[in-house]
Structure 1
Amino acid sequence: MGGKKKVHPKTRTAAFKASEPSEIVEAPHSFVIHRGLACPYIMDLTLDFRRIMEPFTASNLREKRMNRIKDFVSLSSFFHVSHMGIFNKASTQLSFKVVRLPRGPSLTFKVHQFTLARDVISLSKKQMIDNDHFKHAPLVIMNNFSGDGKHLKLMATTFQNMFPSINLATVNIGTIPRCVLFSYNPDTKLVEMHHYSVLVVPLCYIY
């Protein structure tokens, strides 16, 4: 009896992609991981960032100490991963790197401060927690990235390409329950990132 014919990995990947809708295959996907020193707050921050990137991210990605960056890169093409976010905890600072796969570019930021989602929720008088909000990608809002300098254009392009593009002329407003704001401060040279839940309400009625 003859043995089973082996299928080349690229053939399996192509067949897997062909079985999925084009809007899913073409959407930006991401891995968000953490490296460096062990810290429960950084692990929680990593999970919060994955939540922001839903639904096109590996929310339940399991990391092991033996895993290397190249291990995740090798899996990226199979899962349509276009970006990787890496939190790296050193003894004196926390950094966040955004990598465009497979060949870059990459941007590295020093994290000055952050607030976990659970802390925001605990301080909110009116809590809006709905898992249905994460079935659709958020609307991306850019602020103050139109100044001079190639670095501003690179940051704006990178941040926008991490999320699926949204056609505001045709999109159903009901499918945008969240937004992500990237705001650049030209005085401090810092970038702030905020994640909001959006409630759509009518402003006026016309009879």
Structure 2
Amino acid sequence: RKQGRRIKRKTQKETDTSDQASELPPRAFVFSKGKVSAPLKALVNDLKGVMSPNTARALKAQRRNKIKDFVDVAGSLHVSFFLIVSSTEQSSYLRLVRSPRGPTLTFRIRSYALAADLAATLRRPYSAGNAVWQSNPLLVLSDFDQSQQEQSLAATMLRNLFPPINVQTLQISACRRIVMLHQRPAEEGGGVELRQYVIKAAPTNVSRGAPRSSRIKKLTRGNRVPSLGRYGSMADYLAGRGGYSSESGGETDDDEKVDLPQDYVGRGAVRDQRVGVRLHEIGPRLSLELVKVQEGVCDGAVLF
């Protein structure tokens, strides 16, 4: 105090140190830039699901927004990556940007399938609940050649998009999704393919007749008799043709069966239970071609 008045010595709160910031999981903004079609806007929403929960699902970029606007707010929100979807008359592109100083990888989108497109091709599509998006996915990188500089950089950037796994503290109940990134060989056209799957575990010692008999009770409830005209016999109906496949893990191969060390999500998936592990693709599905590597944020010099 000076002459009865308090002297203000601290003008602002201390910010997080670099060590504390490094402990945070990587976060990403996913948005479109410029004029894009409705399917590409839907692709942006699907990519937000891939990056969940470490992304802003409600983020919407305006036409007047510049890349600099996102860079300015990224530091305070601990956002380290941008995934930017854009389109030209020739092709569509996905840019992977490391904020705030780059580098920037530009991928040409060769082809893509939305989550809704994949669901439309299935008789019984898997519906992912909200709990699936609340945990980080497991990342699988396949066939990236570390001796090639551009593939090595791409693998490093893609790996840093997702938080690393701590095996000592990992709870397997949080492992609900898998994101696979596969580098295709040159003789097959090259490029990177992205797939996303949901993990399901079903007990292997459940009788196949039990779940089907329960389905028959549900179908015949209220005097509603199921149509059997497309089946040759009742045996064909009970065998699960027409989409009524078993939910048991007994149909999986031996190399797909494991003993659970912890409780998992699903009926009967408890500790020490032998289960069959299945993957259900939920999309999106992308085929990408790396066309440019820049040293800055979208507008730097071309490295390769």
Instruction: Tell me the residue number matched to 1:160.
Output: 159
Instruction: Tell me the residue number matched to 1:106.
Output: 104
Matches within 5 A, 1:125-144: 125-144=124-143
Matched-pair contact (CA < 8 Å) for 2:183–2:190: yes
Query: Max radius of gyration: which structure?
Result: 2
Q: Distance in 1 between matches of 2:56 and 2:22?
A: 14
Give the stretch that moved more between structures: 157-166 or 24-33: 24-33
Instruction: Tell me the residue number matched to 1:195.
Output: 196
Other structure's SS at 2:90 match: coil
TM-score, length-scaled by structure 1: 0.85
Q: Is 1:37 equivalent to 2:38 in the alignment? A: no
Matches within 5 A, 1:53-64: 53-64=51-62
Instruction: Tell me the residue number matched to 1:90.
Output: 88
Q: Would the alpha carbon gap of residues 178 and 51 (structure 1) be closer, same or farther in structure 2, given more than 3 Å must change?
A: same
Other structure's SS at 1:165 match: coil
Q: Distance in 2 between matches of 1:196 and 1:204?
A: 18
Runs of 4+ that moved beyond 3 A: 22-25, 204-207
Matched-pair contact (CA < 8 Å) for 2:93–2:109: yes
Deviation for aligned residue 1:118:
1.0
Q: Distance in 1 between matches of 2:116 and 2:143?
A: 29
1:5-47: per-residue Cα shift (whole Å, max 9, x none)?
9x98xx5793xx69xxx69961100001111323111111001
Give the stretch that moved more between structures: 138-147 or 120-129: 120-129
Matched-pair contact (CA < 8 Å) for 1:37–1:91: no
Q: Distance in 2 between matches of 1:12 and 1:54?
A: 30
Q: Distance in 2 between matches of 1:103 and 1:149?
A: 23
Deviation for aligned residue 1:159:
0.5
Name which of 26, 40, 48 aligns with 2:24: 26
- Higher RCO, 1 vs 2 (CA within 8 Å, ≥6 residues apart): 2
Q: Distance in 2 between matches of 1:13 and 1:109?
A: 39
- Structure 2 gaps, min length 5: 1-7, 204-256, 260-271, 274-304
1:155-204: per-residue Cα shift (whole Å, max 9, x none)?
11110100111124541111010010000012222100001111134625
Deviation for aligned residue 1:63:
1.5
Deviation for aligned residue 1:128:
3.5
Q: How many residues align?
A: 195
Give the stretch that moved more between structures: 43-52 or 193-202: 193-202
Q: Would the alpha carbon gap of residues 72 and 148 (structure 1) be closer, same or farther in structure 2, given more than 3 Å must change?
A: same
Instruction: Tell me the residue number matched to 2:48.
Output: 50
Instruction: Tell me the residue number matched to 2:180.
Output: 181
Q: Distance in 2 between matches of 1:13 and 1:56?
A: 24
Q: Distance in 2 between matches of 1:137 and 1:160?
A: 13
Matched-pair contact (CA < 8 Å) for 1:99–1:105: yes
- Give the letter for the 2:42 counterpart: D
- Structure 1 gaps, min length 5: none
TM-score, length-scaled by structure 2: 0.59
Question: What is the Cα-based RMSD across aligned positions, in Å?
Answer: 2.5
